[in-house]
């Protein structure tokens, strides 16, 4: 970053004494633009010594996926994005037949159960119930008076959303793959943690009269940022970061205007 061409040094107008044309003796003051010495690169030093980087929604060690960072002045946009309360999308992979203490497959085994009675229809029924109860929670925590006409109109459009602190709410769940004993779900949620998603997998296992552990949690969308915008480990260089920032700027601005 420091090697990039820098801002031109500030200039100011100074009155410099120059010898007057013609006979010596009298010194005249002539205005001239002169670069300020304090701005000289050798005086000032490299422009960036530290960078302020802020993180968006947390992603814990065992999970993977899109992780939003803000650099410098972008940190202010981070708080605005947090207040937008946009949904995040995860793909969660699970395994039937085991129950562990931290709900993931690397924990201590608590119990093993049979799972051959589980079918895709039963799983989808449970997912429908989860969606239903979370829909109710969505309406309740959004703090809108249910008796008003605007509450009804927002509910019809599906725009009711908790705009403050709330417990984790799942707005939509879908089963992507089902091959006993493994299955994969796509979950759209708000205000959640990855451990909550693993607990959800465990509870799905309990509802189906068996047990389940979570093998994989991957965030594929965080508000406006999707996997396509994300940079891989190999792409962590200045050029791609700057391109990515420019691509996302427009999206972030439109989203903020729409919500606030």
166 binds other proteins (CB under 8 A): no
135 binds other proteins (CB under 8 A): yes
Nearer to other proteins (CB atom), residue 74 or residue 142: 142
155 binds other proteins (CB under 8 A): yes
Q: Which of 39, 60, 80, 105 is catalytic?
A: 60
Which 3 state secondary structure label does DSSP give 219?
strand
Helix (H) or strand (E) holding 15: strand 11-19
Among 158, 238, 242, 245, contact with other proteins (rule: CB under 8 A) = 158
101 binds other proteins (CB under 8 A): no
Nearer to other proteins (CB atom), residue 141 or residue 252: 141
Across the strands, what pairs with 88? Answer: 189, 222
Q: β-pairing, 69-71 with 53-55?
A: antiparallel
Q: Output phi, psi for 37, to 5 deg.
A: -70, -25
Token readout for 173 is: 């769940």
Only segment of 9-17, 42-50, 115-123, 177-185 that touches other proteins (CB under 8 A): 115-123
Among 58, 147, 165, 258, contact with other proteins (rule: CB under 8 A) = 147
Nearer to other proteins (CB atom), residue 120 or residue 209: 209
Q: What contacts 248, CB < 8 A, 6 or more positions away?
A: 224, 225, 229
Nearer to other proteins (CB atom), residue 60 or residue 111: 111
Strands (E), 40-79: 53-55, 64-65, 69-71
Does residue 101 have an active-site annotation? no
Token readout for 210 is: 């068996």
| R_g of the chain computed on alpha carbons | 29
Q: How many CA atoms lie within 13 A of 67 on its CB side?
A: 15
- Site residues (CB under 8 A) for other proteins, limited to 210-229: 210
The residues annotated as belonging to the active site are: 60
List residues near other proteins by CB under 8 A: 97, 109, 111-114, 116-117, 122, 125-126, 128-129, 131-133, 135-136, 139, 146-149, 151-153, 155-158, 172, 174, 188, 207-210
């Amino acid at each position: 970053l420091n090697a990039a061409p820098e801002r031109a040094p500030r200039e100011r107008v100074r009155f410099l004494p120059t010898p007057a044309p013609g006979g010596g003796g009298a010194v005249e003051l002539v205005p001239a633009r002169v670069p300020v010495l304090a701005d000289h690169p050798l005086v000032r030093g490299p422009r960036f010594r530290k960078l302020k980087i802020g993180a968006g929604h947390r992603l814990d060690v065992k999970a993977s996926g899109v992780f939003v960072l803000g650099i410098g002045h972008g940190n202010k946009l981070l708080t605005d994005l947090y207040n937008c309360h946009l949904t995040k999308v995860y793909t969660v992979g699970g395994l039937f037949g085991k129950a562990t203490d931290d709900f993931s497959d690397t924990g201590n085994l608590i119990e093993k159960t049979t799972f051959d009675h589980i079918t895709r229809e039963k799983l989808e029924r449970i997912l429908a119930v989860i969606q239903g109860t979370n829909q109710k929670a969505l309406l309740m925590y959004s703090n809108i008076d249910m008796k008003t006409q605007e509450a009804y109109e927002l509910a019809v459009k599906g725009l009711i959303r908790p705009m403050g602190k709330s417990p984790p709410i799942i707005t939509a769940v879908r089963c992507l793959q089902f091959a006993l004993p493994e299955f994969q779900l796509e979950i759209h949620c708000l205000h959640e943690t990855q451990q909550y998603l693993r607990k959800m997998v465990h509870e799905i296992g309990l509802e189906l009269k068996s047990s389940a552990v979570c093998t994989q949690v991957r965030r594929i969308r965080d508000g406006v940022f999707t996997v396509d915008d994300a940079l891989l480990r190999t792409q962590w260089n200045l050029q791609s970061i700057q391109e990515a920032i420019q691509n996302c700027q427009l999206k972030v601005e439109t989203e903020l205007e729409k919500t606030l």
